[in-house]
Structure 1
Amino acid sequence: MGQGCGATGVGSGLRADAERNRLRIVEAAREVFAEEGIDAPLNEVARRAEVGIATLFRRFPTRDDLVTAVFADRMSAYAAAVDRAHAEPDPWLGFCRYLEQVCAMQVGDRGFTDVMTQSFPRFRSFEAERRRSLDRFGDLVTRAQQAGRLRADFVVEDLPLLLMANAGVVSGMGDAAPDAWRRLVTYLVQAFAAETAEGPVATAQPLPEAPTPRQVARALARVQARAARGPGRAQ
């Protein structure tokens, strides 16, 4: 019996080590994907997790395995944002707040935009939640249009356009003007408002302040420096 217990102990130790490695890889990937997007080099993920690349691939055989593990909680938060917006009695207010919340989720996380504008058909539960959230957003769009608040030609496919535009501002402005995205989103929400006899429907909030000339200059210098460094590292 002593030998059996010893074997179980070794197995438990190996499983514990494997789980620790898995958690370290997920946390490292969360950081790297947030900084560089989900196409970031996996070698960098392994380096930060302090594991070999072979260990990373044993735990996560494909990039999508790792991506869906990292963003499972973000997808749940995204779904919750849709549900909160859907529960808002005023569908236009729910629409406005939802767009602001989702765009806020992009700040500091380049990977989120990648995940929201791609599909992961092999991962059924992950993809099902993403699709359910988009369907719920579609329902919200319909309700806001039926209320006469959202322009009739807005479609669900406009959401990825908004996210990609916002991602560009978030990335380009960086810490030079970290709140500049709010002005962009408010501008776009105003553009989405339905026209009435009195003019466009009022938006949920006034237009935030524009970045200062100094902030814009810093952001442009940052973009130029990034372009001078050339494309990202190979995987």
Structure 2
Amino acid sequence: MAEPAEPGRAPLRRDAELNRRRLMAAAREVFRDRGMAATLDDVARHAGLGVGTAYRHFANKEELVDAVFEDMIDRVEACAREAVADPDPWHGLAASLEKVCELQAHDRGLREVMLGTGKAAQRRALIDRRIKPLVDPLIDRAKEQGALRADVEPLDLPMIQLMVGAVTDQTGEPDLWRRYLRMLLDGMRTRPDGTEPLPPGPLSHPL
């Protein structure tokens, strides 16, 4: 009996669907540890499958990266939805940013894909379509709450992810980013004594 197909993909036999899932799981592990330099052959070996099986499911590595990227976005979207459901907008925003940065810190492939490797424009469009409608209103709510400084902009968040990701890449210390994220979050908060206005924000998404 065939498994239900993903949109735009023909149904697969049960064994073929299981192989696809094995390839996806292996890809997440291989890209996590080696980054996007890993090959489709590397993924096939890690999954314990023949290279021919891998190429029957994915014409090339870019197709596999696209599939893994969509899975990554599912995880980021789940973090954003948890944040939206939090009755405290500031806490939800800060916790969501911390969870996404934690995913990046322990996943080299996620850092490379989220921070601009590959199809930047298409992936930015997907992020905007799925994440932006959740995060932008959350930013507005945190400002209305009086916790988030008024001159913080939505594009500041991916820039913060970019900076925090660089800590892990440059130092190799997977938990050091927490120190610097805490500093950045502290700088994002409204202060009773007021703050100097921020310089102009980014002109475009960092991806």
Which letter does structure 1 place at the counterpart of 2:186? Answer: Q
Report the equivalent of 2:181. Answer: 185
User: Alignment length, in residue pairs?
Assistant: 181
Report the equivalent of 1:89. Answer: 87
Deviation at 1:80, TM superposition (A): 2.0
Question: Separation in 2 of the partners of 1:74 and 1:32?
Answer: 14
Q: Structure 1 residues 130 and 38 mapped into 2: Cα distance closer, same or farther (>3 Å)?
A: farther
SS of aligned partner of 1:197: coil
Report the equivalent of 1:154. Answer: 152
Deviation at 1:109, TM superposition (A): 0.9
- The answer (yes or no) to whether the contact 1:116–1:160 under 8 Å persists in 2 is no
Q: Which runs of 4+ in 1 moved over 6 A?
A: none
Correspondence 1:36 to 2:9 = no
Report the equivalent of 1:204. Answer: none
Question: Separation in 2 of the partners of 1:40 and 1:153?
Answer: 41
Report the equivalent of 2:5. Answer: none
Q: What are the superposed Cα offsets for residues 37-88 of structure 1, whole Å, 9 maximum, x if unpaired? A: 3353223222323444443222012434312433444432321211221122
Report the equivalent of 1:227. Answer: none
Q: 2:140 aligns with which of 114, 139, 142?
A: 142
State which structure, 1 or 2, has the greater radius of gyration over its C-alpha atoms.
1
Report the equivalent of 2:45. Answer: 47
Question: Separation in 2 of the partners of 1:45 and 1:17?
Answer: 18
Q: CA RMSD in A?
A: 3.0
**Structure 1 portions without partners, runs of 5+:** 1-13, 201-235
Q: 1:77 aligns with which of 64, 75, 78?
A: 75
- What is the TM-score when the length of structure 1 is the normalising length? 0.64
Question: Separation in 2 of the partners of 1:120 and 1:15?
Answer: 34
Structure 1, 60-69 or 178-187: larger mean CA deviation: 60-69
Question: Separation in 1 of the partners of 2:195 and 2:156?
Answer: 22
What is the identity percentage for the equivalent residue pairs of Structure 1 and Structure 2?
Answer: 39
SS of aligned partner of 2:131: helix
Matches within 5 A, 1:1-235: 15-117=13-115, 121=122, 127=126, 131-174=129-172, 177-197=173-193
- The answer (yes or no) to whether the contact 1:82–1:133 under 8 Å persists in 2 is yes
Structure 1, 82-91 or 15-24: larger mean CA deviation: 15-24
Which letter does structure 1 place at the counterpart of 2:130? Answer: R
- The answer (yes or no) to whether the contact 2:39–2:61 under 8 Å persists in 1 is no
- The answer (yes or no) to whether the contact 1:110–1:167 under 8 Å persists in 2 is no
- The answer (yes or no) to whether the contact 2:105–2:175 under 8 Å persists in 1 is no
Report the equivalent of 1:214. Answer: none
SS of aligned partner of 1:38: helix
**Structure 2 portions without partners, runs of 5+:** 1-11, 197-207
- What is the TM-score when the length of structure 2 is the normalising length? 0.72
